[in-house]
Copies of this chain bind each other. A is one copy, B any other.
Amino acid sequence: MRYLPLSGADREIMLERVGVRAVDALFADAPADRLLDEAPDLPRRKGEMAVERELGGLAARNLSAGSVPFFLGAGAYRHHVPATVDHLIQRSEFLTSYTPYQPEIAQGTLQYLFEFQTQVAALTGMEVANASMYDGSTACAEAVLMAQRITRRKRAVLSGGLHPHYADVTRTVCGFAGDSITSLPPDVAASEDIISQIGPDASCVVVQSPDAFGNLRDLAPIADAAHRAGALLVVVVTEAVSFGLLQSPGAQGADIVVAEGQSIGNALNFGGPYVGLFAARSKFVRQMPGRLCGETVDAEGRRGFVLTLSAREQHIRRDKATSNICTNSGLCCLAFTIHMTLLGGHGLHQLARINHANAVALADRLAALPGVTVLNRSFFNEFTVKLAGRDAAEVVERLAARGILGGVPVSRLLPGAGLDDLLLVASTEVNTDEDRAALADALAAVLGEIVSC
């Protein structure tokens, strides 16, 4: 077997050194009647070529985004990632290294984490950021738990514009942890009155902008209201490229910002792995979950970096830890950092402008179709269209049959919410004019085919 360096002869010599006849003698602590006599009933080993054939065959059964006009978003966005990014993250010294607990030989990882924290803090407009979370949705739940620790209050208010998966994760985790969650109903038009929900028992209010329907939210009034009530404002961003064009959550008064960083440096990957961004005001740093990388010096006074404030973490604090989290999203945040390094603030701004311009062009084109209404007054690169009584899920299926991945039906995220004729449509820098024309033409055709629901 190509991955196993021991030869039969090696094994013989080694068993002799160990002083046993056969390797099963080393499994003597396992109950003899539970020890398997032979290999499990699974396929025989395959050479590389055979594995490539098998997995290549499965891959070919998926319609890849790059092969068709593609307009899906809803928390996962298709952007162009420079070749440099993927090359660098595959370097052996990054890919095959461990959590940097031995800082003398892990400065590569530690320094990019420090750079990542700096970038995330700048983008979110916050003072500190951690070294990443699993993804945006789990970061959202952690933010609510953190708000609870800070305020010692146990009720969180979730906006109806929060991504339904994020809301679900937060409800699940915080519910088990003993928090109560007030979830506002789906808020397509960004018209909810969330401020009235912030009572004196509220630990935090969680608002997403751009929200799940693409609307941009004015966060400052909510921040004011929350702060007046002694609650925190947690801001969620699912499209990190929007940081390039919009006022930062920090500038609008957020206390904690969580975001999905996939858009920068990372592929769609059918939903994972992604990278959660987590930033906060510095006064809350000791209540933050996850790893933090900090600057220090070595024995010769040279600048270096270490994981720090680990007194918060599970491997030190065990059941008193701020979170049970014990990993970050290392390679994904490296990809984020490299892509952000190439872009810089100005490049991200330009990239965001292109995204917005493409979305505006698409919105205008779709709005011109009969039976299609764009619901958003404001948006970044994604918006909601109403399909005059048609079932958006069926529309999407039919578009797919025509070789177009046309968007996410709201019912996929919110089944049974009575929003079946709404379609979320995103457009990034990868979309061309031809893509938009193809979608508009196909959508017109499909709407003509099906009757109202």
**Mask of A77-96 contacts with B, CB within 8 angstroms, 1/0:** 00010110001001110000
Chain A residues bordering chain B, tally (CB within 8 A): 13
Chain B residues with Cβ under 8 A from A49's Cβ?
Answer: 80, 429-430
Interface flag for A369 (CB, 8 Å): no
A209 to B337, CA, bound (A): 54
Q: Does A302 contact B (CB under 8 A)?
A: no
Q: Which residues of B contact A83 (CB under 8 A)?
A: 48
- Complex Cα distance, B87 from A82, in Å, reads 18
Distance in angstroms from A339 CB to nearest chain B CB is 12
CB contact between A80 and one of B48, B91, B92 (< 8 Å): that residue: B48
Residue of B nearest to A48 (CB): B82
Asked whether any CB of chain B lies closer than 8 Å to the CB of A46, the reply is: no
Which residue of chain B has the shortest Cβ distance to A81 in the bound complex? Answer: B48
A2 contacts partner chain B, Cβ-Cβ < 8 Å: yes
Report A171 CB to chain B, min CB distance, Å.
39
Known: A48-B80, A48-B82, A49-B429. A2 touches B87 (CB 8 A): no
A14 adjacent to chain B (CB < 8 Å): no
A342 in the interface (beta carbon within 8 A): yes
Bound Cα distance from A429 to B82, whole angstroms: 35
Give complex CA distance A49, B49 in Å. 30
* B residues less than 8 Å from A430 (CB atoms): 49
Taken together as a complex, chains A and B put the C-alpha atoms of A48 and B82 apart, in Å, by: 7
Within 8 Å CB of A91, what residues of B?
A: 91-92
A8 to chain B, nearest CB (A): 13
Q: B87 touching A342 by the CB < 8 A rule?
A: no
**Given known contacts A87-B90, A90-B87, A2 and B342 CB-to-CB distance under 8 angstroms:** yes
Q: Which residues of B contact A92 (CB under 8 A)?
A: 91
A342 CB contacts on chain B under 8 angstroms: 2
Contact pattern, A 1-33, Cβ under 8 Å of B = 1, otherwise 0? 010000000000000000000000000000000
Within 8 A of B (CB), among A65-114: 80, 82-83, 87, 90-92
Q: For residue A80, which residues in chain B have a CB less than 8 angstroms away from its CB?
A: 48-49
Complex Cα distance, B82 from A168, in Å, reads 43
Chain A 47-74, CB-CB to B under 8 Å as 1, else 0, gives: 0110000000000000000000000000
Expressed in whole angstroms, the minimum distance between the Cβ of A381 and any Cβ of chain B is 16
Besides A2-B342, A48-B80, A91-B92, 7 more A-B contacts (Cβ < 8 Å) are A48-B82, A48-B83, A49-B80, A49-B429, A49-B430, A87-B90, A91-B91
The 10 closest A-B pairs by CB, nearest first: A49-B80, A48-B82, A48-B80, A48-B83, A49-B430, A87-B90, A49-B429, A2-B342, A91-B91, A91-B92
10 of the cross-chain contacts (CB-CB < 8 Å) are A2-B342, A48-B80, A48-B82, A48-B83, A49-B80, A49-B429, A49-B430, A87-B90, A91-B91, A91-B92
